[in-house]
């Protein structure tokens, strides 16, 4: 998910790289991610790179799908200070509130586009962290929305797919035109 708040760099001790982010309607964003089989050094490096990419892009969440790695890995930081990263590996929603609300969302893969999506206001998610430890996290409001948004990415779903065909077509046209202009520039 995208956010406009400023961020400091994160410090995990692992050298990090900023990864290129796929832009909608890139068909690779529709790939369904596979579960991580072992939380090893390779996965920890992916997490570190995704975190750096998220902070550098001023995002509040990033799914591995968006950096063209099709494994169930998500990084999130919804804190004001950008100093509270959360890692969700093989996340499963174990409970979602019946209460749903529409909130405005953005996405690093859909730059400059914001629109309303209805989501559960609270969720419980079970996942592994980057040390392979299992946790159950209770989330509400922005964090709950962010978790649902990023988990959609792992299923190959981008938030604009909740919007009307008319809006989606307009967004596709706009982003494809922007990419052609970038290539020319």
Residues interacting with Ni ion, by CB under 5 A? 107
CB of 109 to Ni ion, least distance (A): 5
CB of 108 to Ni ion, least distance (A): 6
Using CB positions, name the residue nearest to Ni ion. Answer: 107
Could you tell me whether strands 134-140 and 73-76 are parallel, antiparallel, or unpaired per DSSP bridges? unpaired
CB of 67 to Ni ion, least distance (A): 11
Our answer to whether residue 150 is catalytic in this structure is yes
Given the residues 92, 118, 150, 161, the one annotated as active site: 150
CB nearer Ni ion, residue 66 or residue 90: 66
Residues acting as catalytic residues: 150
């Amino acid at each position: 998910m995208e956010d406009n708040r400023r961020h400091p760099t994160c410090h995990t001790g692992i050298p990090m790289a900023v990864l290129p982010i796929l832009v909608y309607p890139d068909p690779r964003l529709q790939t369904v991610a596979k579960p991580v089989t072992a939380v090893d050094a390779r996965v920890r490096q992916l997490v570190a790179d995704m975190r750096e990419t998220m902070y550098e892009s001023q995002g509040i969440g990033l799914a591995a799908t968006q950096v063209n790695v099709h494994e169930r890995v998500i990084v999130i930081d919804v804190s004001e200070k950008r100093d509270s990263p959360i890692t969700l590996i093989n996340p499963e929603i174990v409970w979602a509130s019946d209460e749903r609300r529409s909130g405005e969302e953005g996405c690093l893969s859909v730059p400059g586009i914001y629109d309303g999506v209805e989501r559960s206001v609270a969720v419980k998610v079970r996942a592994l962290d980057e040390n392979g430890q299992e946790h159950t996290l209770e989330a509400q409001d922005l964090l709950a929305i962010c978790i649902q948004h990023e988990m959609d990415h792992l299923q190959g779903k981008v938030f604009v797919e909740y919007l009307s065909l008319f809006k989606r077509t307009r967004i596709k046209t706009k982003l494809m035109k922007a990419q052609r202009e970038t290539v020319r520039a």
